Amino acid sequence: DTLILTGCTTSGCLRATAVDAYSYNFKVVIPEETAFDRFQASHAINLFDLNCKYADVIPSAEVQDYLGGLAVRDDLPTGVSG
């Protein structure tokens, strides 16, 4: 399973969620333009560290391309997503 994380604060909530998700064996992806921190240095350092250890920090365009390329499942019962 994969978790795509967005939001703020990079050095706080986003980092804590990424580390927790990684510890539960989720693949973690962070679209780099969708994260924010009050201080640019904290933001850059945390994205660098997360990318090295816990997550794939990639451009949001790559995430959009990946999601756009997923096949739509029409074999599921009504009300169930896949």
Kind of pairing, strands 7-8 and 56-58? unpaired
Q: For 13-41, how does the pLDDT look when each residue is reduced to its tens digit (9 = 90+)?
A: 999 999 999 999 999 999 999 999 999 99
pLDDT number for residue 68? 85
Note the Cα 50 to chain centre separation in Å.
10
Specify whether 8 is catalytic: no
DSSP 77: P
The pLDDT of residue 41 is: 97
Average pLDDT of the chain is 91
Answer yes or no: is pLDDT of 82 > 60. Answer: no
Closest C-alpha among 19, 33, 39 to residue 61: 33
Q: Would the pLDDT of 53 be above 60?
A: yes
Q: What is the C-alpha to C-alpha distance for residues 74 and 60, in angstroms, rounded to an integer? A: 27
The one catalytic residue in 2, 13, 59, 65 is 13
